[in-house]
Amino acid sequence: MNRALKKILAFGLLASLALGLLAACGDDEPDPQQQQRAVAEQQQDQQGMTAAAPSTQQQEQQQDQPTAPVAEGPLKIGFLADFSGPLAEFGPAIQTGVELAIKHLNDAGGVLGHDVELVVGDTGLDPTQATEEARRLIEVEGVHAIVGPLASSITLAVTESVAASAGVPIISPSATSPQLTIAEDNDYLFRSTTSDAAQGPVLAQLAADQGLSNVGVLFLNDPYGQGLAEAFAGAWGGDANLVSIEDGQASYLSELQQAASNGAQALIAIAFPQQAEVFLREALEQGLFNHFLFVDGTKSQDLIDAIGGDYLNGMQGTAPAAGPESDSLRAFNEAYIAEYDELSPLPFIREAYDAAIAVGLAAELAGSVDSDAIRDNLRNAAAPPGESVSAGAEGIAAALDAIRSGDQIDYAGAATSLDWDGNGDVTSGYIGVWQYADGTIEEVSVTAFDLSGGPMVATPSASDDQQSAAVVADEPLKIGLLADFSGPLAEFGPSIQTGVELAIKQLNDGGGVLGHPVQLVTGDTALDPTQATEETRRLIEVEGVHAIVGPLASSITLAVVESVAADAGVLVISPSATSPQLTIADDNDFLFRSTVSDAAQGPVLAQLAADEGYTNVGVIFLNDPYGQGLAEAFEAAWGGDANLVSIEPRQASYLAELQQAADNDAEVLIVIAFPQEAEIFIREALEQGLFDEFLFVDGSKSQELVDAIGGEYLDGMKGTAPSPGPESPALLLFNQSYIAEYGELSPLPFVAEAYDAAVAIGVAAQAAGSLDRAAIRDSLRTVAGPPGDPYAIGGEGVGAALAAVAQGWEVDLEGAATTLDWDENGDITSGYIGVWAYQGGEIVEISVTAFDLNE
């Protein structure tokens, strides 16, 4: 026996003796963590001893079949959850996910030669009880890692008071508070769900999509409630009364009255079922609210059973969710149904499964049940560059076999990617929209997020049966841009082009369309129908474009479509032509728009005039499809007196028309015109003392106009224009990428709409698998409407959408400016109209109003 071998054996004997002495001490409890680490060190030393002098036969055997490490005892996973108290509904359901994970690990041979064991503790939504249970699991039961707790406040208490100092990793499947990101956890706190930094914006978008602009919010005064309320408020563009509540109150009537003040239209319930049952009942009884929105904490069968489906049916909420059905999710669902007969409607079961699987795989990777070693290998078990392995019995067996063979793995979770960052956060995942329906809970849709750079969709991993060879076209997709680079609207063409160019950059950064970079070809329409139709023919017949973004003006768009594009079978998407006349154009279904009709802007303009205190107005409008349509929409919604006077473009003076508009003491002039005409008649109105107050629209939302007239004359005067809504995921991504590319956002209108149009064309062509012009048109509604999975375009979201449709996924593009849900006329029937103002010589946004023309 050589000297080194004697030293190793001596160390092993000493370690065993030390453990025996510790166990024999009657006064002092043994530290299971120290025992685990000593045993692990002994195992590693013995493994090293065995490997010191292998025979030739052993070497051959090891090369053919690696020997898996065997631990002295089983891996013990603790599960801390609520089996009593306000969250008792959730504990048993979430435990089923953990038990299924352990079954799959054990069916595959266990971890390190032993079956995994589960030890359960009840937290009761009580920090004192929870920390005592955590100590019992660690110090008495000797668990090596913990799945849970459920609530954010309890997770923070357990981690910061017990687990971090004990060196035991915690993976919560459901603690969503952003406060966990900055917890004092010594890198022992992970979560297998997404932060409410993602749920908040989706909740805000859901409220906006329901037409709400003023909401009340009741939120629990704890890390969960505070974090989600703050994330919602940060993304919400309307009015909100945020009111905190304490757990255990007998009544929340005072808080409800605060939340309902100033005409709040709906109540957002950021609480748990026990509190929600109390205040929902009071809200209904007192007539304070009958419209509610919910979150993950109130996604509860017990709650709807208590309140009654008659009161809550059809009401929706948000919650972290599994994404579109991947191989991993499908395998989990099949296994869960086989084990428990049906899927549970309650949240966080898949996340709990993923957490337990990750612990088992990390221990196998570490070759040890040492808690530190498990923690250190969690990220290795579930991140590139390892081979992707899925959930389910077969997937977990394959993962363990790969580890035992010395291969790297990347566990693709049933719920999320589990690509943990430095804070133990999963930065990409999905937020679902769900609803109460017929007294039960049903899923509605999902939105993907990547919080590493703001919310955005994640690139899907197509399953084997979805994968297909990528279609490669013979030539590049060519998108034409018809806009005004000269003439009265020359101010707008270059800014709108930036939106199209950003879209094409992101399409190309995402791999291009059908195997080629997208190309842009521009044409100048100059607000001249003859020039515009000639430029259209050039783009189609000479340049060979496959689709066109533009033109800008309604009159030019109608001329181009009805004279050239419809007959040529070329798709036209205008980002800015708002006339209602486009709805009935003779276009052979080749005319779409990524902005909204003035059938929506007219009523908002009328409401603005009323809100400003006017009862008698003058209106000067261009005698063209744009001016006529907006003037008619305004007049139909206006309840006061009005002098509507049409004008022709390019007149030297509009004094006669101004005098007609000023008849009968009109108090304000509404300017429905473009900057070139508006500059002339506003100057005349001021010089002649006919008007000194004005209201504007999208056509007169112009920096050049305020520069020409002078900010002192127009300061504080307001207008309307189609607008993106509250900051949605897609708008946030667009704004971030636009600023990164151009330094600042443009104050001019329709830039985001132009971006949306170009992205939609690219994704439609990719989905069609063809550059055939009619095929692109036919694919457009498919990629931008239900029942596909929502994809917030912007930034990397564009590449994600391209990848999804290339693999056969159904997508529903969510534009930066609008939903892009086109109707049979190529119109977007729901969206937002903004109110803006000239202030300090600049254009500033004031507010937005949601509308739905179907109502």
Same fold flag, 196-322+431-450 and 598-722+837-852: yes
With vertex at residue 34, the alpha carbon angle to CA 30 and CA 39, rounded to the nearest 5 degrees, is: 110
Instruction: Write the pLDDT tens digit of every residue in 489-541.
Output: 999 999 999 999 999 999 998 889 998 999 999 999 999 999 999 999 999 99
State how far the Cα of 622 lies from the Cα of 598, in Å rounded to an integer: 14
What long-range pairs does 393-399 form, CB within 8 A, spacing at least 24?
393/103, 393/104, 393/107, 393/108, 393/331, 393/335, 394/331, 395/327, 395/328, 395/331, 396/101, 396/104, 396/105, 396/107, 396/108, 396/357, 396/360, 396/361, 397/104, 397/107, 397/108, 397/109, 399/361
AA letter at 268? I
CATH architecture of the domain covering 76-193+348-424: 3-Layer(aba) Sandwich (3.40)
Instruction: Report which of 451, 458, 449, 448 is spatially closest to residue 790, judged by C-alpha positions.
Output: 448
Structure tokens at 29: 């409890």
DSSP letter at 597? -
Structure tokens at 552: 């800008």
Report the run of H or E that residue 628 belongs to, with start and end.
helix 625-637
DSSP letter at 180? G
Helix (H, G, I), strand (E, B) or coil at 61: helix
CATH architecture of the domain covering 598-722+837-852: 3-Layer(aba) Sandwich (3.40)
Placement of tokens 């956890």 in the chain: 185
CB-based contact 693:720 (threshold 8 Å): no
Q: Who's near 24: CB < 8 A, 6+ residues apart? A: none
Model pLDDT, residue 458: 32
State how far the Cα of 205 lies from the Cα of 447, in Å rounded to an integer: 11
- The fold for domain 196-322+431-450 equals Rossmann fold (3.40.50)
β partners of residue 828: 596, 822
Model pLDDT, residue 727: 67
DSSP letter at 476? -
Report the run of H or E that residue 547 belongs to, with start and end.
strand 547-549
β partners of residue 822: 828
Structure tokens at 709: 């007239």
Structure tokens at 245: 């509540």
Structure tokens at 366: 């570490």
| C-alpha count within 13 angstroms, C-beta hemisphere, residue 361 | 36
CB-based contact 40:370 (threshold 8 Å): yes
Report the run of H or E that residue 851 belongs to, with start and end.
strand 842-852
Model pLDDT, residue 68: 58
State how far the Cα of 544 lies from the Cα of 478, in Å rounded to an integer: 7
| C-alpha count within 13 angstroms, C-beta hemisphere, residue 632 | 14
Question: Phi and psi at residue 501, in whole multiples of 5°?
Answer: -65, -35
Structure tokens at 511: 């791999």
CB-based contact 27:366 (threshold 8 Å): no
Paired sense of beta strands 316-321 and 428-437, if any? antiparallel
State how far the Cα of 750 lies from the Cα of 792, in Å rounded to an integer: 18
State how far the Cα of 712 lies from the Cα of 844, in Å rounded to an integer: 15
DSSP 651-711: -S--HHHHHHHTGGG--EEEEES-HHHHHHHHHHHHHTTS-S-EEE-GGG--HHHHHHH-H
Model pLDDT, residue 336: 97
| C-alpha count within 13 angstroms, C-beta hemisphere, residue 9 | 8
CB-based contact 332:80 (threshold 8 Å): no
Model pLDDT, residue 451: 72
Sign of CA dihedral 331, 332, 335, 338: negative
DSSP 270-325: ES-HHHHHHHHHHHHHTTS-S-EEE-GGG--HHHHHHH-HHHHTT-EEEEEE--S-
Report cis status (omega within 30 of 0) of the bond before 320.
no
Structure tokens at 679: 């500059």
Helical ranges in 341-370 per DSSP H: 349-366
CB-based contact 592:548 (threshold 8 Å): no
β partners of residue 810: none
Model pLDDT, residue 71: 66
Model pLDDT, residue 47: 37
Structure tokens at 507: 């399409």
pTM: 0.53
Give Dmax (Cα) for the chain.
116
Question: Phi and psi at residue 332, in whole multiples of 5°?
Answer: -65, -50
Structure tokens at 497: 């082009």
Report the run of H or E that residue 797 belongs to, with start and end.
helix 796-806
CB atoms within 10 A of CB 475: 12
Instruction: Report in angstroms the alpha-carbon separations of 600 from 147, 597, 748.
Output: 51, 6, 19
State how far the Cα of 10 lies from the Cα of 144, in Å rounded to an integer: 27
CB-based contact 259:216 (threshold 8 Å): yes
CB-based contact 723:745 (threshold 8 Å): no
Structure tokens at 569: 């079978």
Instruction: Write the pLDDT tens digit of every residue in 325-354.
Output: 678 999 999 999 999 999 998 889 999 999
β partners of residue 122: 81
Using only C-alpha atoms, the chain has a radius of gyration, in whole angstroms, of 32
State how far the Cα of 179 lies from the Cα of 172, in Å rounded to an integer: 13
Paired sense of beta strands 668-672 and 616-622, if any? parallel
Model pLDDT, residue 124: 95
State how far the Cα of 795 lies from the Cα of 730, in Å rounded to an integer: 9
Placement of tokens 């080194």 in the chain: 4
Structure tokens at 412: 């693709």
Report the run of H or E that residue 571 belongs to, with start and end.
strand 571-574
Instruction: Write the pLDDT tens digit of every residue in 176-213.
Output: 999 999 999 999 999 999 999 999 999 998 998 888 89
| C-alpha count within 13 angstroms, C-beta hemisphere, residue 354 | 35
Paired sense of beta strands 214-220 and 239-245, if any? parallel
**The domain defined by 478-597+726-832 carries CATH number 3.40.50.2300:** yes
State how far the Cα of 576 lies from the Cα of 595, in Å rounded to an integer: 6
- Ranges of the chain with pLDDT below 50: 1-66, 453-470
Model pLDDT, residue 394: 96
CB-based contact 697:719 (threshold 8 Å): yes
State how far the Cα of 230 lies from the Cα of 811, in Å rounded to an integer: 30
Structure tokens at 721: 């224009």
Report the run of H or E that residue 837 belongs to, with start and end.
strand 830-839
Domain edges within the chain: 3-64, 76-193+348-424, 196-322+431-450, 478-597+726-832, 598-722+837-852
CB atoms within 10 A of CB 10: 10
